[in-house]
Amino acid sequence: MKQREPHLLLQSAPLLRQGLTTPAAMRDVWLALLPATLAALWFFGLSALLVLLASIAGCVLTEWVFTPKESRTDTLKDNSAALTGLLLGLTLPPGLPMWMAFVGGMVAIGIGKVIWGGLGSNLFNPALLGRAFLLGTFPIAMTTWGAASGPGDFLQVHASNLALPFMQAPPTDAISAATPLGLMKFEQQGTAFTNLFIGNTAGSIGETSGLMLLLGGLFLWLRGGIDWRIPVAILGSAALFSLILFLVDGDKYPSPLFTVFSGGMLLGALFMATDPVTSPLTPKGSWIFGIGIGFLVVLIRVFGGFPEGVMYAILLMNAATPLIDRYSQPRVFGRGLK
């Protein structure tokens, strides 16, 4: 009896797959950002949530509008647009008007991603590009920081959050506080390390809690989602550079510990600079990239006009990434031997 012969496929090997998918990798980043996001809600209340939602909505809607109909659901399902929104939101002040956060999201995806050719093709980190746009366009709103509040004020929403489009925030609302970096830059005033570590300071929504960011970064590293060389290189070189300055004049320059735990340093080093699309592919390139960022951050913070320099440092090194990649190819097995 002749057995039934199935119609055989001729797919070329390998047939086996690791089982990891790009959307799942994006989901890992979401999970890794969860602790910092929860800390943000704890410290900044419902305001933080509103800003995050507005920025995510800006990103997702823009992605939806600008992608061709056929691939629309696919590109949204890969989780990357919403992730950009979350990352952008975490870099914004909690009192920012929601419409500004929304516009920031639109710019992040529209100018930061879609015009380059979509996922995987952009040169600059989209979230940071969106933030750079906001900082340039709304400098006052982007540098008005509310002090961290307790859980008791959770439901208190800054009136500025609800400002109508193209209106500035009502000035009366400002329970404004200076960030640790601002205090350091303009008043040579330090901040207690425990506050920096826990996150109980003024600052952008997701950047204040060093502890939660480190937890998330550790998780992401364990899941293989980030190249450990980049954060290590950034934090190491920034700490080293600021240690040298600190030793030269301890009163004028911040300590390495302050450098690492203040401002957007950890958020940037762990979650922004490690964006695989905009960072080098090669191990050697990752070191160069990270060291460049760490050096630039301290340079901008100490000698520049802004108190913070993480965003510009990363964007600058993003621009250098293709060049770094080209000249940092690993030695091929069996080549370049004596």
Binding site for other proteins (CB under 8 A): 3-6, 8-18, 20-25, 74, 78, 80, 118-121, 224, 227, 276-277, 279, 281-282, 329-335, 337
Q: Shortest gap between Cβ of 41 and other proteins (angstroms)?
A: 29
| φ, ψ dihedrals at 159, nearest 5° | -60, -30
179 φ, ψ to 5°? Answer: -80, 160
Instruction: Please report which helix (H) or strand (E) contains residue 72, including its range.
Output: helix 72-77
262: three-class secondary structure by DSSP? coil
Q: With the C-alpha atoms ordered 247, 290, 37, 34, is the resulting torsion angle positive or negative?
A: negative
Q: Which is nearer to other proteins, 20 or 244 (CB)?
A: 20
- CB count in 10 Å sphere of residue 223: 16
**Closer residue to other proteins (CB): 160 or 282:** 282
Tokens of 302: 């100490």
- Pick the closer one to other proteins by CB: 305 or 338: 338
Preceding omega of 139 cis (within 30 degrees of 0) = no
- Spatial CB neighbours of 47, under 8 Å, sequence gap ≥ 6: 94, 95, 146, 156, 157, 158, 161
Could you tell me the two tokens for 275? 């964006």
69 or 249: CB nearest other proteins: 69
**Between 15 and 164, CB nearer to other proteins:** 15
Shortest Å distance, C-beta 124 to other proteins: 14
- The H-or-E segment that residue 233 falls in is helix 229-248
* Closest CB 278 distance from other proteins, rounded Å: 8
Shortest separation between residue 90's beta carbon and other proteins, angstroms: 20
What gap in Å lies between CA 131 and CA 124, rounded to an integer? Answer: 12
Q: Which is nearer to other proteins, 3 or 194 (CB)?
A: 3
CB of 102 to other proteins, least distance (A): 25
Tokens of 266: 């950890």
Choice between 123 and 175, CB closer to other proteins: 123
Convert 319-333 into a string of H (helix), E (strand) and C (coil): HHHHHHHHCCCCCCC
Q: Cβ 93 to other proteins, closest distance in Å? A: 29
> Which residue lies nearer to other proteins by CB, 21 or 188?
21
CB of 196 to other proteins, least distance (A): 31
In 3D space, the residue among 229, 71, 232, 95 whose CA is nearest the CA of residue 168 turns out to be 95
Beta strands in 130-183 (DSSP E): 145-146, 176-177
Write down the least CB distance from residue 315 to other proteins, Å: 17
